[in-house]
Structure 1
Amino acid sequence: MKRFKFDLKLLGLALCVSGIAACGGGGGGGSSDEGRQASTSKESGVCGDTAGAINQAALEDADCKYLSSYRLFADASNPTDNPNGRGVIYDLTTPLFSDYASKYRFVFVPDGEAAAYTEHEVFDFPVGTVLVKTFSMPADTAFRGYDAEAQDERLIETRLLIHREKGWVGLPYVWNDDFSDAELQIAGGVVPVTTVHNGVQLDIDYRVPDKNQCKQCHQYKASGSDVSAISPIGPKARLLNRSLDYASGSENELSHWISKGILTGVPSDLNTIQTVPSYHDSDASLLAGKSDAELTELATGYLDINCSHCHRPEGSASNTGLYMEFWRDIQDEPIHRGLCKQPTTYALSGLPYDIVPGDIENSILRYRMASTKPGDIMPELGRSVVHDEGLALVSAWIKSLDTPTCPSP
């Protein structure tokens, strides 16, 4: 089991609370649970008992003040292992970058229920489902997550995405000073953390999102609809069609979900599922040996998980016309993928196109990924430092592109 080292001097837990409500909100019709009140003591009513099975009643109707009130884990102070009930760990082929933090993901589907498979979208999860993601900062980014059993990490926050009757609701819990529990911070905030990356110390102002920021990233507006809803991002077939080590042994994640009775409708032949290839930081050193086709697969997969939740016809950046879903064929839709595409909402002197094939210096995509300046940084949310390895991948891909020269703007 991973050891968590809680050095308050290094962690510098200094939650900078803004005046904006955080990560709440609901589903269809743009409705939200803003009227629901979080508990104010430890704890009352449905949130009061921290012992026993999963507190399904609280999950479905209460914004508890403390994470432990939901009883999701056997050890309330360790949200990275031993989920209660039908909780199942999951991981993605290529993860979304969040300032080099480790992430521990679990899905909890209510007893007697199951999610329904979809080809391109997030699975159709039943009401009562909760997706749990814990962020922790490793002492060294070379040793992250479950692959670094002997390393120390510092818990930062645990986010719940709960499917309630009115839609999905996001609740951010920040770990307290003694790391015995996490407390609901509806206004978001900033947690200063320190890590080492490639031998260099990084001092990071890790940002816990507020409500509007949660809605911005998780916004989904179905085709033909005038309203948007909150939707999960990660649990898609193309990101879960991979093997994962469970207590029972290594197994394909989709197969494991089926065996646990929490997913139905999956194709019998998993090889027919278009799958985002794995790309992790350690793979950056191998980019020089990749073919052009391999670079395209890796880069479009990376852009899918990091960008497509906004850059898609149903997302908050639909007006840009830049669509990043992995399944879009770059040969069929080069403009939508950014090639020789003029931006519609962003202007920077001397950089007229989102992507100039073969030319990273004149590609807006690469410039914004390399920036941490407000107004230029992309993604706009979720990071405060440059993802060097992601930038290396996208740069190598742009260099490899061989298409006609972009016309003069």
Structure 2
Amino acid sequence: MTLKKLTTSALLFGSLLVLTACGGSDDADDSAGAPPPAEPTICENTEGAINTLALATENCQSLASYRLFSDPTDPTANPNGTAVGYDLTTPLFSDYTSKYRFVFVPEGMQAQYDPDESFEFPVGTVITKTFALPADTAFRGIENETKIETRLLIRRESSWAALPYVWNAEGTKATLAIAGEISDRSLIHNGNEKDFKYHVPDMNQCKQCHQFKSDSTSSVSKFVPIGPKARHLNGDYDYGADGIRNQLLYWQEAGILAGLPADMNQVDRMAVYQDGDEAGLDSKSPEELQALAKGYLDINCAHCHRPEGGGSNTGLNLEYWRDFPTNRFAHGVCKKPVAYGGGTLSFDIVPGDAENSILHFRMNSTTAGDRMPELARSLVHTEGVALIAAWIDGLTGSCVP
């Protein structure tokens, strides 16, 4: 397997002495006192290998300044350096966009495996995620899509930096959008046209979803990635010339992941749920529905809804590893909402009755204040709602009013 090497050398900038002619004069004294042109800043040079110095220190205005991709207008393919593409077994829903992900781990360094949480990545790591909107979700692939944004997570010396870049209408340039952006978009899904407002989060909103406390009693949060957890990566990915491989094993062989158990049976593998799978929900057993629902709630909700997350005050804890039969109340069964009024609904989950469950209602709403998740979507994920409804309707028991 051949991987391009990620350069760790910084760019050396030389001073340029430019002689100018004024008014056609041959008199050298005319320009003798003129100052030389300013040296280009770290972010201005867009030629060459990955701009490691800029990544380490600068929030560049243009995504191209970091030189992460061989074609600066296409962040969906041909990354520079040791970058590896990856995907999540069950995706986090974001208004039916396609997502193109790469992780850049500096040469000679490794991420450290963790059985439950996001891997511990070394300083210098960059994670890129590009969101592209298909004209029709029946026809995926960047050739049928419009690039909207590329988000960078950069592991700097002090912490992770989250930088959102928004693509222009021509798809030729992505510019830093510290304050985020709201744009009018439309797509066709299952034959129906959907018009909506697409929200690019601002930098503070990024922190809202990515915050994590070392334990539930801590008052200090740190910023962590959401997707790169073992259970989300324990599946196959098409690596082109290297074939279709298990992502975790590939990362290990590529030398960017350390600590992976020798016995892959020790690594959680989530039940996979993709759009289109809702057609087969009626044939699933209660155990299969629960496994699918647990996986969906884990990637879409549990980064906030856990004792260490941003939604810890709700008492709703949805981590994948949390056992459901012995923690039904923590999962919302017969639990009254803490941070939400509930309206005419009384419990987060009413066994056997999705229509009267707050969890289902909020997932099925687009109204601000009711919608859940609060960020990252304007549309209802009808396939996800169908899964959670089937799971709730299959639960047994009753709640005391």
Q: Same fold (TM over 0.5)?
A: yes
- The answer to whether the 8 A contact 2:350-2:399 is kept is yes
Say if 2:170 is the partner of 1:174: no
Q: Which amino acid aligns with 1:67?
A: L
CA contact (8 A) 1:51 1:71 kept: yes
Which residue type is aligned with residue 301 of structure 1?
G
The one of 56, 61, 65 equivalent to 1:65 is 61
TM-score (norm 1): 0.86
Q: Which amino acid aligns with 2:259?
A: G
2:77 is the counterpart of 1:84: no
The one-letter amino acid paired with 1:273 is: V
Mapped to 2, the partners of 1:98 and 1:304 lie a distance apart of 15
Where has structure 1 moved over 4 Å in runs of 4 or more? none
Alignment partner, residue 230 of structure 1: 223
Please state whether the residue corresponding to 1:190 is helix, strand or coil. strand
In 2, the alpha carbon distance for the partners of 1:348 and 1:227 equals: 30
Residues 180-195 of structure 1: matches in 2 within 5 Å? 180-195=172-187
SS of residue paired to 1:206: strand
- Residue 376 of structure 1 deviates from its aligned partner by 0.4
Deviations 1:69-121 (A, max 9, x none): 11111111000001110000000000000000000010001111100000100
* 1:236-385 → structure 2 map (5 Å cutoff): 236-247=229-240, 248-385=242-379
Q: Answer whether contact 2:133 2:187 (CA < 8 A) is retained.
A: yes
Per-residue Cα deviation, 1:200-237 (whole angstroms, up to 9, x for no partner): 11112110001221111111111153211211000000
Secondary structure in 2 aligned to 1:361?
Answer: helix
- Name the CA distance, whole Å, in 1 between partners of 2:343 and 2:324: 26
Q: 1:44 to 1:286 in 2, by over 3 A?
A: farther
Q: Partners of 2:179 and 2:227 in 1: how far apart?
A: 24
SS of aligned partner of 1:220: strand
Distance 1:44 1:237 in 2: 42
Counterpart residue number, 1:209: 201
Instruction: Tell me what 1:45 maps to.
Output: 41
Match of 1:200 in 2: 192
Q: Supply the distance in 1 between the matched residues of 2:47 and 2:147 (Cα, whole angstroms).
A: 22
The amino acid of 1:334's aligned partner reads R
Question: Residue 191 of structure 1 contacts residue 205 of structure 1 at CA under 8 Å; is this kept in 2?
Answer: yes
Counterpart in 2 of 1:105?
101
- Secondary structure of the 2:198 match is strand
The alignment's C-alpha RMSD in Å is 1.2
Does structure 1 conserve the Cα–Cα contact (< 8 Å) formed by 2:209 and 2:304? yes
Larger radius of gyration: 2
Residue type at the aligned position of 1:78: D
Q: Is the 8 A contact 1:156 1:191 kept in 2?
A: no
- Measure, in 2, the Cα distance between the counterparts of 1:262 and 1:274: 20
Q: Is contact 2:351-2:398 (8 Å) kept?
A: yes
Aligned length: 361
% identical aligned pairs: 56
1:406–1:44: structure 2 CA closer, same or farther, 3 Å change rule?
A: farther
Residue 349 of structure 1: how far off its partner (Å) = 3.0
State the secondary structure of the residue aligned to 2:295: helix
Amino acid at match of 1:241: N
Deviations 1:256-293 (A, max 9, x none): 10111110000111122122211111111111111111
* Residue equivalent to 2:118: 122
TM-score with structure 2 length normalisation? Answer: 0.88
Q: Does 1:393 pair with 2:387?
A: yes
Q: Which runs of 5+ in 2 are unaligned?
A: 1-38
Match of 1:153 among 134, 137, 145: 145
In structure 2, the residue matched to 1:135 is: 131
Q: 1:143 & 1:280 partners in 2: Cα distance?
A: 15
Q: CA deviation at 1:177?
A: 3.3
Q: 2:139, 2:225 → 1: CA distance?
A: 27
What secondary structure, in the 3-state scheme, does the structure 2 residue paired with 1:46 have?
coil
1:330 Cα deviation (Å)?
A: 0.2
Task: Tell me how far apart the structure 2 counterparts of residues 200 and 284 of structure 1 sit (CA, whole Å).
Answer: 17
How far apart are the structure 2 equivalents of 1:306 and 1:314? 16
Partner Cα separation in structure 1 for residue 150 and residue 264 of structure 2? 31
Equivalent position amino acid for 2:365 in 1: S
1:75 aligned to which of 65, 71, 89: 71
